Every structure is written in structure tokens, then in C-alpha cells.
């Protein structure tokens, strides 16, 4: 059974909000992590799984050595904890879907049923939940995480802090609904996280770099990116429990963030992709919603048609070949 084929064949019948463009980007990041960074054993999971549409795909991305832990966090039936009514998690349907689409059963999973806020020791006194989480997951163990639970400012901020403290160096976190005007809490939560963990870049930090960035001629290559990381580093991190992450890509309503040491690697990787004709990802300076560092960003006007006509057919062919 090719579970990828099943997933894509039945994709439109599943309840959820994931786009195929997001699946494409996740595939790119995962291939980069496995093939170039040789990171193959960090946990994969999602906060806010709903019925498992995106989670199934994330689990399908598990390296074939099957060393990676898989996790899911959702309030599920405890609806009163879903304070902004984002989605409608259902544990049974979730478990059925991940079995059907990713061949993962409940006993292979770390599941926390409750608010993700419980897991954050900075913001909650739920010691039992926090002990459960750290015992099951271990320290610095996550490699690929989707944050798509409660969409308020506080929950987004809390989830980013929680995952930043659990991420392996080189891991990737994605925050959903960064562009959605109905869920502005996400943007605010991300902005708060970035403001607390990074310095906003200004000319005084590195005048030469400022000239290069202002000209917008220079692509954010590896060396330039290293300088950006250094120039925007906070001298003292007031919350060491909440380490820094830097946005690398803003694409199809999601913001992807990396650990500072690997920000230059991811930027360089996306740079090369762009050269290969993946034109839907282009360099842009990040708007004020997410700090003040260069990242890759989609060209919204052109993205859908370029994606459907050029990128998607090539990618699906590659994916089918790789997963046969």
C-alpha cells in the first residue's frame, strides 16, 4: 500500500484546512533535513490536529528508520478549553485518519489531550502535564512541528515558546494562519515572540549590511544571513526558557521558523531552489508582522498559477518516485 497515493487520492474528502502548497513546502524542508542536515531522529508533531489532515501528512514524512517520535496535542472533547473555537478536534476520527492515511496507531503516539497552555511551565502551573510532556518527549527533541491549536495571541506565543524550547538545532516550526485576517491573534503572538527573542535590525548594528539589505539587490546568501543573525541577536535573553527562532519562509498562510544556527542554511537552501525555477518563492523583506530580517516569501499574485502549472506536477512525480 502506497499511503502517499491514498492520502492524495482522498485528500479532498478529509476535513481540515491544509493546502497542497503547504504539503509541498513541508516535503522540501524534510528532504533538506534528512539529506543535507542528516537529521533523522527528531520528533514530528502538531499542536491542534482537528481530524488529522495535516498531522497524517506530517507522520507520513517520518524517516524510514522510524526513530522519530510522533506527537499530537489537542483539546479534543474538552471543548471548553477551545476558547476561540478554532477547529473542532475529534480524537476518534483523528486516530482513524492517522491509521488510514499514515499507518500510525495510537500506541505509537504521544498524545496530550488538553490545552497546549498546560505544557508551558512559564504560563501554567500544571506540573503533571509538564512532567508527562518532558518525560515522553525528552529535551530538545522536536524536528518538525506544526502550531495550529488555539489562535489567540497568548496561545500562539505560548506554543512558540514551548516548541522553541523543545526544538533540536536545525528543526523547523510552522505557525498557521499568519496571513488570516480572521485570526489576528496569530500575528500578534508571533510578533510578541519575535520581539522578545530578537533585536530589530537597524543601520547602527551593521551599516554595511544595512546598505546591502536596503538595496534589495543582494540575495540573502549564507554569509549575509550569518551576519543578520549576529546583528539581531539579543545580548541577554530575558527568558532563556524561550529560545530564539528566526523566520525563514512565509508561504501559503504559514510562517516557517528555524533555529538561529540553521537560519543561514535554510535561507541558502531556498535560494538554490529559487535558482532552479521554483519561482513562486521569492526574496522579500519581512513585513513588520514578523520582525525585521530577510526571509523568503511567496509572490501572492502569481503563486497559485505557478504552483499548479509548474511546481505541483514536478513535485508529485518526484514524490511518487521517492515513495514507491
Ligand X SMILES: C[S@@+](CC[C@H](N)C(=O)[O-])C[C@H]1O[C@@H](n2cnc3c(N)ncnc32)[C@H](O)[C@@H]1O
Summarize as ranges the residues that interact with ligand X (CB under 6 A): 16-18, 46-50, 53-54, 73-75, 81-82, 86-89, 115-117, 148-150, 155
Rounded Cα distance between 155 and 287, Å, is 22
Which residue, 57 or 262, is less far from ligand X as judged by CB?
A: 57
Cβ count within 10 A of residue 275: 10
Provide the grid cell at 139: 529535551
Q: Least separation, in Å, of the C-beta of 226 and ligand X? A: 33
Q: Least separation, in Å, of the C-beta of 48 and ligand X? A: 3
Q: What is the dihedral of CA 306, 312, 313, 319, to 10 degrees?
A: 160
Backbone angles phi, psi at 284, to 5 degrees: -150, 160
Which H or E run includes 175? strand 167-176
Rounded Cα distance between 13 and 18, Å, is 12
Taking a C-beta distance cutoff of 8 angstroms, is the pair 163, 120 a contact? no
Q: Least separation, in Å, of the C-beta of 43 and ligand X? A: 17
Which residue, 71 or 307, is less far from ligand X as judged by CB?
A: 71
Q: Least separation, in Å, of the C-beta of 166 and ligand X? A: 15
Which residue, 88 or 169, is less far from ligand X as judged by CB?
A: 88
Which residue, 151 or 244, is less far from ligand X as judged by CB?
A: 151
Q: Least separation, in Å, of the C-beta of 295 and ligand X? A: 22
Q: Least separation, in Å, of the C-beta of 60 and ligand X? A: 14
Rounded Cα distance between 85 and 13, Å, is 22
Question: 194, 186, 121: which is closest to 154 by C-alpha?
Answer: 186
Taking a C-beta distance cutoff of 8 angstroms, is the pair 28, 273 a contact? yes
* Residue nearest ligand X by beta-carbon distance: 87
Q: Least separation, in Å, of the C-beta of 164 and ligand X? A: 17
Which residue, 117 or 281, is less far from ligand X as judged by CB?
A: 117
Which residue, 21 or 148, is less far from ligand X as judged by CB?
A: 148
Classify residue 198 by its DSSP letter: B
Q: List Cβ neighbours of 95 (8 Å cut-off, separation of 6 or more).
A: 52, 105, 106
Which residue, 175 or 249, is less far from ligand X as judged by CB?
A: 175
Which residue, 180 or 292, is less far from ligand X as judged by CB?
A: 180
Classify residue 256 by its DSSP letter: E
Q: Least separation, in Å, of the C-beta of 55 and ligand X? A: 7
Quote the distance between the C-alpha of residue 181 and its chain's center. Answer: 19
Amino acid at each position: 500500500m502506497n499511503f502517499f497515493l491514498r492520502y492524495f487520492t482522498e485528500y479532498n474528502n478529509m476535513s481540515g484546512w491544509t493546502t497542497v502548497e503547504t504539503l509541498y513546502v513541508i516535503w522540501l524542508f524534510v528532504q533538506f533535513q534528512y539529506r543535507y542536515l542528516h537529521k533523522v531522529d527528531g520528533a514530528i508533531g502538531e499542536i491542534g490536529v482537528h481530524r488529522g489532515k495535516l498531522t497524517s501528512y506530517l507522520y507520513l514524512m517520518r524517516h524510514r528508520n522510524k526513530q522519530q517520535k510522533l506527537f499530537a496535542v489537542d483539546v479534543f472533547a474538552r471543548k471548553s478549553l477551545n476558547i476561540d473555537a478554532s477547529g473542532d478536534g475529534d480524537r476518534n476520527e483523528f486516530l482513524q485518519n492517522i491509521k488510514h492515511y499514515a499507518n500510525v496507531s495510537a500506541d505509537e503516539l504521544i498524545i496530550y489531550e488538553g490545552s497546549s497552555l498546560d505544557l508551558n511551565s512559564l504560563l501554567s502551573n500544571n506540573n503533571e502535564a509538564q512532567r508527562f510532556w518532558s518525560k515522553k518527549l525528552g529535551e530538545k527533541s522536536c524536528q518538525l512541528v506544526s502550531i495550529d491549536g488555539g489562535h489567540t495571541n497568548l496561545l500562539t506565543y505560548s506554543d512558540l515558546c514551548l516548541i522553541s524550547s523543545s526544538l533540536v538545532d536545525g528543526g523547523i516550526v510552522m505557525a498557521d494562519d499568519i496571513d488570516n485576517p480572521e485570526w489576528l491573534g496569530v500575528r500578534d503572538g508571533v510578533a510578541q515572540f519575535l520581539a522578545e527573542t530578537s533585536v530589530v535590525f537597524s543601520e547602527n548594528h551593521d551599516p554595511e549590511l544595512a546598505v546591502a539589505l536596503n538595496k534589495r539587490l543582494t540575495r540573502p546568501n549564507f554569509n549575509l544571513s550569518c551576519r543578520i543573525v549576529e546583528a539581531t541577536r539579543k545580548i541577554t535573553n530575558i527568558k532563556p526558557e524561550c529560545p530564539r527562532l528566526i523566520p525563514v519562509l512565509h508561504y501559503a498562510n504559514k510562517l516557517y521558523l528555524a533555529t538561529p544556527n540553521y537560519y543561514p542554511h535554510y535561507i541558502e537552501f531556498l535560494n538554490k531552489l529559487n535558482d532552479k525555477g521554483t519561482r513562486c518563492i521569492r526574496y522579500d523583506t519581512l513585513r513588520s508582522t514578523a520582525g525585521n530580517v530577510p526571509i523568503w516569501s511567496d509572490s501572492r499574485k502569481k503563486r497559485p498559477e505557478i504552483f499548479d502549472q509548474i511546481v505541483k506536477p514536478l513535485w508529485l512525480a518526484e514524490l511518487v518516485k521517492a515513495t514507491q
